[in-house]
Structure 1
């Protein structure tokens, strides 16, 4: 015994194994290097020309059975010099040997299997082979990468049907959770906590002047001028306000689609309640059209606090009526919706009225910094304590024509915003502090945000192919 024998797990050789014939392969000794290194590669197989082989023996038939079809490359050889195929003719040397006939049968069966088992080619990848693409990334992917069927891109989308529908799940053996209560989403709870923290600091006498609204728009990166593109695909709260600004405009086509949606809901409600007793309200929405011109003034001298005064002129009255408020923005929350067409901005503001006697003096002594003519359609839905404002804004821009005469053009913008009944919010906060109802505020916030999601989902369908 030596170190090589120990490494090779060899036993001591017997007397008759001492002599090794020339035809026997000598067992190679292993060193530490041989053990640590990979085995040497096998020599490449000659594929250019293979001479006809004699009839396979019974040992070949056994090896063919044990090998898979994938290991058999070809049963025909090509002579490079003549360009002719030379087939391995087993029957040429076959005789009455049963093993030879078995070899021929095995090779014939293998050839038939190779011809019959061709891989199936898909024009469109099967569902298990398709890659899921988030909706906000779909427009960046070439349709050829997704699959094409009859010239149309193939994508997998989920149903619009909700998972938990209270109208159908109460009577079946399905519970929403182990406690029987649907826990609030993290977004809803965070918004409710934000509202509770900010509303708690407002004095009792100013409660009726509080405004809480959701505006539709886009969170725009100040550096690029484009909508932010984060590594998320679901709605989330964006906290870095210093690097972005909120563009509260929506496209005209989206604005018209939302207006059309409200008209469809009202029409459907009227058809459902036709001929029934007047147990429900006559209309689903309370509608109001207004035509108001807002002028924004920056009031305050040197060393004084600059106040932002908004004076509104009602153009539908003759003579027009003027009202004024001092609007102070308390806090903002940005909600990013990468899978939807628009983001949201939740704004808490304090709108203190300005006495009517001061309006004329403000207009005489100051020049407005911004003038906006607002033609607004308001839809109020009492069951969800939400007011929807669809506003067409005309901003005058003065210019000069080729003759040097001043002319006024208007930039037209479209805005969509929602306001919640803040008195209901304060009542819910009072119930939390008194301990009578700790869920009411979260329910109000969830209903309010659900209304925004409904509108966002409606307009997002316009962007889908």
Structure 2
């Protein structure tokens, strides 16, 4: 045995194989019974083995070589059947020339035309059989009653359609995943034109389309992933809010420093906490800014610039509410966090209660702005009014917050701005031992998006009617936060 024998899967030679190759017995040449070796190489793999076709016995002539390497007259052996198919030469010349190789002499002989025709007919018949089998399989698949996995292709498999073409058809009424039709409150007209720029001599990109900002797409994907898991019956209880504050490092007690200068999403929530307070001067500046926008809008109406516009830019509402927080549930039971709200503007006051469950948070770091942002998704499930009194009587309040809030709602951007002055009471005793109440005053700014519009946009994605609406809503919503952040950041500039 040698390396070549191992590669060719040869077994050790038997006793009769060890006889001299010159011996001839039983009317055949010794050693010719062994099939030609096919080497395990790339050429053998790439070249298909031709099929063997039976043919008439042929007479082979073997030259007898003497000790002086001089050829003796050829000796004719008895007729035998060819033992192997012709060997293919691995060269372009042998492919283009229809030549065959005689195994015994090593000389090229003419290709048998009748044999070639039989082989071609054999291959054609096999090819026709394979085609019939494939057609049969396709017909069986068409007759199959197996339900389709997707009514519409998944998002990643859908064809890309530019936003300016996706809105050519009016989809003001879309069908959501439970079969009901939902009419959107806003127009389906695209918010942004992704195919034009202000400069007429410039194109927006080599593809002719402006790609969405990566942070907008990430936020849209985060919203889609979390909203898709909410049951239809709970949709009206969903709250998606964006709060202003600072991401504080737990180790240093200061705002995080990531050595970046641009807006980014921070994912390591375990090492930080979000401080949702803003300075009083910033709170007042935002309120002043909204008032300026309303005043400028009213001047446009008086100058007849916007005759068909609404009478007000913002719908405003002032509220005075006291929130009291309770934790219900005994040992081994599910702890429920209940918020009981008392409307101080009503006489007698009205009590309402909700069970608020935080689902997920997304932190957005703005190192070049005065404040960071926290996008929070929550469920606010109402508590029956008959249970409110029992909750107050049986449980001890864990926290009390008095909220004096100014709400500004801007319908064209589906955004509600809440500017809240929070008073947290603390009981103490003066030097005479008399109990007094002090208040810690905090200022908060938050924005809420119109969640029905978000669900409508998600339904459009799942139905395949519009895959860009959600990104546009997110971009508009975040742009409002950027506008406010830019306004208050100017206060810190010299």
Any idea what the Cα deviations from partners look like across 1:419-444, whole Å, max 9, x if unmatched?
00011000000110111100000000
What is aligned with 1:262? 290
Mapped partners of 2:209, 2:294: distance in 1: 32
Any idea what the Cα deviations from partners look like across 1:381-430, whole Å, max 9, x if unmatched?
00000000000000001111001111000000000000000110000001
Mapped partners of 2:303, 2:337: distance in 1: 52
Mapped partners of 1:447, 1:165: distance in 2: 13
What is aligned with 1:207? 235
What is aligned with 2:362? 333
Q: What are structure 1's unaligned runs of at least 5 residues?
A: 1-163
Q: Cα offset for 1:177?
A: 2.1
Mapped partners of 1:285, 1:412: distance in 2: 27
Mapped partners of 1:438, 1:241: distance in 2: 30
What is the TM-score with the length of structure 2 in the denominator?
0.60
Matched, 1:250 2:274: no
What is aligned with 1:379? 408
Mapped partners of 2:436, 2:227: distance in 1: 46
Any idea what the Cα deviations from partners look like across 1:322-377, whole Å, max 9, x if unmatched?
11100000000000000000000000000000000000000011111000000000
Q: Cα offset for 1:302?
A: 1.1
Q: Could you say what secondary structure the match of 1:460 adopts?
A: helix
Mapped partners of 2:403, 2:316: distance in 1: 16
Matched, 1:462 2:491: yes
What is aligned with 1:226? 254
What is aligned with 1:241? 269
Matched, 1:184 2:212: yes
What is aligned with 1:15? none
Structure 2 matches for 1:278-427, cutoff 5 A? 278-427=307-456
CA RMSD of aligned residues (A): 1.7
Q: Could you say what secondary structure the match of 1:447 adopts?
A: helix
Structure 2 matches for 1:431-450, cutoff 5 A? 431-450=460-479
Mapped partners of 1:267, 1:180: distance in 2: 39
Mapped partners of 1:398, 1:312: distance in 2: 21
Q: Which segments of structure 1 move beyond 3 Å, counting only runs of 4 or more? A: 168-171
Q: Could you say what secondary structure the match of 2:226 adopts?
A: helix
What is the TM-score with the length of structure 1 in the denominator?
0.63
Q: Cα offset for 1:174?
A: 2.5
What is aligned with 2:148? none
Q: What are structure 2's unaligned runs of at least 5 residues?
A: 1-191
Q: Cα offset for 1:198?
A: 0.3
Q: Cα offset for 1:165?
A: 10
* Structure number, greater radius of gyration: 2
Any idea what the Cα deviations from partners look like across 1:273-311, whole Å, max 9, x if unmatched?
114264100000000000000000001111110000000
Mapped partners of 2:341, 2:204: distance in 1: 49
